Structure 1
Amino acid sequence: MNTQRILLASRPAGLPTAAQFQFDSQELPAPAAGQVLLKTRYVSVDPYMRGRMSAAKSYVAPYEVGQPIAGGVVAEVVESQNPALPVGQVVVGNLPWQQYILSDGQGLNPVPADQAPLSYFLGLLGMPGLTAYFGLLDICQPKPGETVVVSGAAGAVGMIVGQLAKIQGARVIGTAGSDEKVAYLKQLGFDEAINYKTADLPAALAAAAPQGVDCYFDNVGGAITDAVYDLLNKHARITLCGQISTYNATETPVGPRPEGKLLKTSTRLQGFIVNDYLSRWPEGVKQLTEWYVQGKLQGEETITEGFDQIPAAFLGLFKGENTGKAIVKVA
């Protein structure tokens, strides 16, 4: 079996470009005992992958130059020598960017294909959904009537955070980078949504949160976070989930120092990685699926078609091209 792959060609300095990706082909043998051959159906592209393209030490090992890039993939078993994974079974796992993948079955989780679209298991019912679930409910712990602000609110995680906060009875404010995304957030039930590219951000946030901010789910950092910190209430909680505004910076940005504001408001700031909650993933998937089936959660995706379009879909993340989860449909 011949398969195309996408390798990391070089490490980027600043914003990645198409030059960082190399296509090649590889001949795969037939599955041996215990192995399965997978056909890739959907590929997830996510901002955290930018960090793995760098050699800098982080919470996850960097990609190796000359080796396939890997991430969330939904795939179908097309040949099997593993009785636990029969032909036709759909699985999700952290897998290389390849059209076909030979696997020993480790780290593959069967997908209940009858409950939701397959791509949702890379978004609403997958890693982004779990990031929102644990980051909001475990760390921010919003209470009815409190004000929650979400940055990057039209992204894969942020759109779910806002919906979960509404389920908890909170008042929700989201920031996004276009009028179309702002309108979409209002459709999802956000109480207020702000286009950070066109608004006077400090004034707009202050007007949207006249009672101050109790919870802040930070996907972005930068100027948005600086503005939110000026509105924190006593005993506010901040979930530090992402800092996409700085991922491609070649120098360390200098901004207001927040420690005094956190001290005066007795604010709790906690960073987290969703893999911290691996032992509780089944709980999260079960609850998210229940809310989805009940109509309390909506999914939104930007789907690009074609294996060869995976790099372009990834690069589009840093231009704000996606609303909701960015997905590539391969087969």
Structure 2
Amino acid sequence: MSASSAVPATHREVHLVTRPTGAPSEEHFTVVEVPVPVPGPGQVLVRTTTLAVLTIMSELIRGRGELPMPPFDVGACVPGPGIAEVVDAGDSGLQVGDLVASQTGGWREYAVLDAQAVQCLDPGALPFPAAHLSQGAAAYLGVVRAGEVRQGDTVFVTSAAGGVGSLAGQIARLRGAARVIGSTSSQRKADILTKELGYDAVVLRNAGSLDEQLRAAAPDGLDVVVDNVGGEQLKSAMALARRGARIALIGALAGQLGDSAVTEIDPHALISGSVTLRGAALFDHLDVIPEWTDFFGRALRDGTLTFPRTVLTGLDQAPRALRELVEGRHVGAVHVEL
């Protein structure tokens, strides 16, 4: 189907102008006006509606090469996931007005994307389109498949106030966990976790001994650990693993935020305790996404699960959103709506 007549001649993009050595901030980006691109064969032109801002973007902006994806280029538009509306479907088979999700649309108002690289969204699958940008599939993978949370379990979720952790604790509760414990960086976020998101107790980073806090919160030990962080938090959790415990490794935020995610492992303790240590990457478990979407849609509609998110408005707010995310300002997902 042909393009909408409302498509302008130019649009705005956020470009990375300098590569930071530390955490990125607004000074490392600029907003530029460029011509709206024209789709070729097998491509679609889309208008961005919502951007998801993720912590891993900080590492890619800094150019760290150990990740399984290339660093972002200086002088180019910042890539990233988002929801967009098709405005020129070309020969793709899509329709003008379709909502699509893309991992690479980027921080721009319009984008040309390969039709095979976008996911056409079912408008009835979730109550609102931005829910498709949740990190819940990773949380579901950690809780259900890697962690195998069962009735009566005591579960510890690291980085519990983040986009993954804020959903992981709720999923664990719905799976029958008897006690859900999280870690976070401030008392403000701890209060939200316990009062609104189903956590029974929270341990605070940089507020005394993590070992002592976690032991007080889980005096009988841990059955499941859903770890988004690595480093000292994972070490403290492994020390409390009960016999038969399952430890799901789904993130390494300590490394992304400038600390070390490396954790010493005692093989004897794992063997003698029959403890399972399992790394799980979503790109190896793509079949979990439709399962999660069905679960998420039903839980949102019946009110048994909420989707915490912070929304900033305007393309030029994307750099600020990333800075505040890295600084730990927000609970849940961080989105920019255009």
What TM-score do the two structures reach when normalised by structure 2? Answer: 0.88
8 Å contact kept, 2:243–2:274:
yes
8 Å contact kept, 2:82–2:133:
yes
1:232 matched to 2:235: no
Deviations 1:276-296 (A, max 9, x none): 112442232222222222322
Q: Secondary structure at the match of 1:236?
A: strand
8 Å contact kept, 2:223–2:244:
yes
Q: Secondary structure at the match of 1:311?
A: helix
1:122 matched to 2:154: no
Q: Which residue of 2 aligns with 1:203?
A: 212
1:62 matched to 2:68: no
Identity of aligned residues (%): 31
Q: Which residue of 2 aligns with 1:308?
A: 316
Picking from 152, 159, 163, the partner of 2:166 is 159
Q: Which residue of 1 aligns with 2:110?
A: 100
Q: Which residue of 1 aligns with 2:307?
A: 299
Deviations 1:225-246 (A, max 9, x none): 2322221111211111222223
1:243 matched to 2:252: yes
The 1:310/1:182 distance shift into structure 2, 3 A limit, reads same
1:13 matched to 2:24: no
Once the 2 structures are TM-superposed, how far is the Cα of residue 116 of structure 1 from its aligned partner? 1.6
Moved more, 52-61 or 299-308: 52-61
The 1:248/1:183 distance shift into structure 2, 3 A limit, reads closer
8 Å contact kept, 1:221–1:242:
yes
Q: Which residue of 2 aligns with 1:318?
A: 326
Q: Which residue of 1 aligns with 2:6?
A: none
Deviations 1:260-285 (A, max 9, x none): 54344332222222111124422322
The 1:212/1:13 distance shift into structure 2, 3 A limit, reads same
Q: Secondary structure at the match of 1:194?
A: strand
Q: Which residue of 1 aligns with 2:145?
A: 138
Letter in 2 for 1:181: K
Letter in 2 for 1:164: I
Task: Quote the Cα distance in structure 2 between the aligned partners of 1:160 and 1:242.
Answer: 14
Task: Quote the Cα distance in structure 1 between the aligned partners of 2:281 and 2:75.
Answer: 27
Once the 2 structures are TM-superposed, how far is the Cα of residue 253 of structure 1 from its aligned partner? 7.2
Give matches, 1:148-227, under 5 Å: 148-170=155-177, 171-186=179-194, 187-198=196-207, 200-227=209-236
Once the 2 structures are TM-superposed, how far is the Cα of residue 57 of structure 1 from its aligned partner? 3.4
* CA-atom RMSD in angstroms: 2.3
Task: Quote the Cα distance in structure 1 between the aligned partners of 2:78 and 2:188.
Answer: 32
Deviations 1:145-176 (A, max 9, x none): 11110011111100111111111111211112
Letter in 1 for 2:307: G
The 1:253/1:38 distance shift into structure 2, 3 A limit, reads closer
Task: Quote the Cα distance in structure 2 between the aligned partners of 1:248 and 1:175.
Answer: 15
Task: Quote the Cα distance in structure 2 between the aligned partners of 1:102 and 1:286.
Answer: 29
Deviations 1:193-246 (A, max 9, x none): 233343542222112112101111111223322322221111211111222223
Picking from 13, 33, 37, the partner of 2:45 is 37
Once the 2 structures are TM-superposed, how far is the Cα of residue 26 of structure 1 from its aligned partner? 2.1
1:87 matched to 2:99: no
Q: Secondary structure at the match of 1:106?
A: helix
Q: Secondary structure at the match of 2:291?
A: helix
Once the 2 structures are TM-superposed, how far is the Cα of residue 36 of structure 1 from its aligned partner? 2.7
Pairs aligned (count):
325
The 1:291/1:315 distance shift into structure 2, 3 A limit, reads same
Structure 1 unmatched ranges of 5 or more? none
8 Å contact kept, 1:172–1:191:
yes
Q: Secondary structure at the match of 1:283?
A: helix
Q: Secondary structure at the match of 1:138?
A: helix
Q: Which residue of 1 aligns with 2:296?
A: 288
Q: Which residue of 2 aligns with 1:274?
A: 282
Task: Quote the Cα distance in structure 2 between the aligned partners of 1:164 and 1:237.
Answer: 16
Letter in 1 for 2:86: V
Once the 2 structures are TM-superposed, how far is the Cα of residue 47 of structure 1 from its aligned partner? 1.2
Letter in 2 for 1:117: F
Q: Secondary structure at the match of 1:71?
A: coil
